[in-house]
Amino acid sequence: MQVSVLTGPKEIRLESRPVPTPAADEVLVQVTAVGVCGSDAHYYREGRIGDHVVNGPLVLGHEAAGIVVAVGSAVADTRIGQRVSIEPQRPDPTSSQSRAGRYNLCPAMEFFATPPIDGALAEYVLIQSVFAHSIPDEISDEAAALFEPLSVGIASAQKARVTAGSSVLITGAGPVGLVTAQVARAFGATEVIVSDIDESRRSNASRFGATRVVDPAVVDVRDLQVDAFIDASGAPRAVVDGIHAVRPAGTVVLVGMGASDYVLPISLIQNRELVLTGVFRYANTWPIARELVLAGLVDLDSMVTARFDLAGVEDALNADTVSGSIKAVVIPGFTKEHYA
């Protein structure tokens, strides 16, 4: 099979590798679509994200969908031929976090495209059968691949306690900010304010869930009064200003990855009794993602702005520098005629 491999900073090579054989609890998935995440681009350009350092060849890509083509001995062969969305993680089911239902926090987690675990930019991948979620024909391969960022949005809205009538501020209108805005609306929020310094991104937010968009260089975000604040930017200034916008007893959820440390308004958090938490991936979100997309409450297909084949992964990783880009998708065997 063909595999796209990161061999060093800004070095991508197409390699031929044997098709893997599934273990007893695994399925072999023929990959049909892989979304490109900001973390993929960061590993490509910098060779690391925080403590996660690329020390050898690495296959990127953790937003993936495909078709089950083979199964392990403990998996029913009726799964062969199923279209699936891949939840790209393998926790230790015996860890205390997994047993508590928080398998995303398992300290022994093996996560696609997090060194040294290879990801999905290949023609075939293995995944435990329980993390290969079947999808109906009404959902496209591309949308199924984007269940992964959608799951981040779902986890964020759940942590923010978004419910009917909520008002929510989201800072950062990248892909995660856009899916989070859509999820907030689907969860019943009646006011979804999205803040971003980039005009084109604010325009995207208006299309994908926002009831109002603001330019933080023009509007003082601190003057907004909301029940919940979700940061999808990772920018220290956005985080601090967003915290000031939250009403007493409200919730702050930090999603964006930016600076490791910065000063927070502790007295304000104490005096308003704000709940401040982070989001690290997700757990038990794929069934919710499927229902939101099927119901038409979340539009993932329209977020795809560029498509590439495995030989074009380097261009896909740089697609975020192109004006108007939202989400690039890599499709093994891609042909422009198919999408004309």
Integer Cα distance of 3 and 332 in angstroms: 10
Check whether 337 has a pLDDT greater than 80.
no
Q: 103 versus 49: which is more confidently predicted? A: 103
Which of 36-50, 160-174, 263-277 is predicted least confidently?
Answer: 36-50
Would you say 28 and 69 are in contact if contact means Cβ atoms under 8 Å apart? yes
Q: Does domain 150-278 have CATH number 3.90.660.10?
A: no
Check whether 86 has a pLDDT greater than 50.
yes
Average pLDDT, the chain: 96
Burial (CB < 10 A; 0-12, 13-18, 19+), residue 151, is buried
Place 340 in a pLDDT band, splitting at 50, 70 and 90: very low
Instruction: For the domain made up of 2-146+300-339, give the CATH fold.
Output: Quinone Oxidoreductase; Chain A, domain 1 (3.90.180)
**Model pLDDT, residue 336:** 53
Residues 271-281: what's their mean pLDDT?
97
Q: Spell out the domain ranges in the chain.
A: 2-146+300-339, 150-278
Place 335 in a pLDDT band, splitting at 50, 70 and 90: low
Q: Which residue's entry shows tokens 């304010």?
A: 193
As a whole-number percent, the residues of the chain with pLDDT over 70 amount to 98
**Model pLDDT, residue 109:** 97
Residues 117-128: what's their mean pLDDT?
98
**Model pLDDT, residue 52:** 87
